[in-house]
Amino acid sequence: MAQPIVSVDDVHTYYGDSYILQGVSLDVRPGELVAVLGRNGVGKSTLASTIMGFNPPRRGAIRFEGKALTRATPEARSRAGIALVPQGRRTFRSLSVAETLEIARHLRRFDGQGLSWTVDAVYDAFPRLAERRDNRAGTLSGGEQQMLAVGRALVGNPRLVILDEPTEGLSPLLVKELFGVLEMVKAQGSTILLVEQRLKFALALADRVVILNKGKVVYTATPAELQADEDVRHRYLGV
């Protein structure tokens, strides 16, 4: 089996005294889409920010393409080829769509090794962004800002894209559009870690699903296995 792109090994993360990730381990292999599921507050976003380096673990290790990254800064992780699309988008309100994407392209410090998301490719994937290219991010709808946040990550041609609840607040139409884009990103061989509340969305995209509960991985399976396991879905996802 291929070496994992990212390997999270017995990671323990805190916010002050709050013990959030309590020994999380998971691997994501090249070209795989792994969905992280779980109820509100179980630590999914914390896992995303721990991998990106915003909230390093007190114990445990994170390896990226075989190299230890546990203590690396978020900038170093970005240079290594990890991109995070954070929950709540965080686009710069005063920059236009075109400026946002151009800046992300210029900041690209990582040679995407055959992956090639250009600004034009992002416009093709999200026609709404092309229509709004001269508009400031602050004037976009929530859904359009989400598209922009995803596009900004893609033009960096990351080796690993971490998406933290990208469908949150999107209209059904935009959810569908985002689904198509993620299918495309996947088809190009990108590796994706998807934190997601919408079960159907996650099951339709994922190669593997991981469920977190109270800061621990309690279940790992294929989407079909989770689909068939009513007990697990009910117990850990409430559906």
Ligand X SMILES: Nc1ncnc2c1ncn2[C@@H]1O[C@H](COP(=O)(O)OP(=O)(O)OP(=O)(O)O)[C@@H](O)[C@H]1O
- Residue from 6, 8, 20, 140 touching ligand X (CB under 6 A): that is 20
- Piece of 38-46, 64-72, 95-103, 112-120 that binds ligand X (CB under 6 A): 38-46
User: How many chain residues bind ligand X (CB under 6 A)?
Assistant: 11
User: Quick check: 41 binds ligand X (CB under 6 A)?
Assistant: yes
For residue 180, state whether it binds ligand X (rule: CB under 6 A). Answer: no
CB of 167 closer than 8 Å to CB of 201:
yes
- Shortest Å distance, C-beta 95 to ligand X: 26
Query: Could you give the CA distance from residue 222 to residue 239 in angstroms, rounded to a whole number?
Result: 17
Compare residues 41 and 189 and give the one whose CB is closer to ligand X. 41
Interface map 100-119 toward ligand X (x if CB under 6 A): --------------------
Position among 1, 2, 17, 18 found at the interface with ligand X (CB under 6 A): 18
User: Contact between 42 and ligand X (CB under 6 A)?
Assistant: yes
Burial class (CB in 10 A: 0-12, 13-18, 19+), 230: exposed
Q: Does 44 bind ligand X (CB under 6 A)?
A: yes
Q: Nearest distance from residue 151's CB to ligand X, in Å?
A: 22
Query: Toward ligand X, which CB reaches closer, 22 or 70?
Result: 22
Q: Residue 239 interacts with ligand X (CB under 6 A)? A: no
Which of 1, 2, 17, 40 lies at the binding interface for ligand X (CB under 6 A)? 40
Binding site for ligand X (CB under 6 A): 15, 18, 20, 38, 40-46
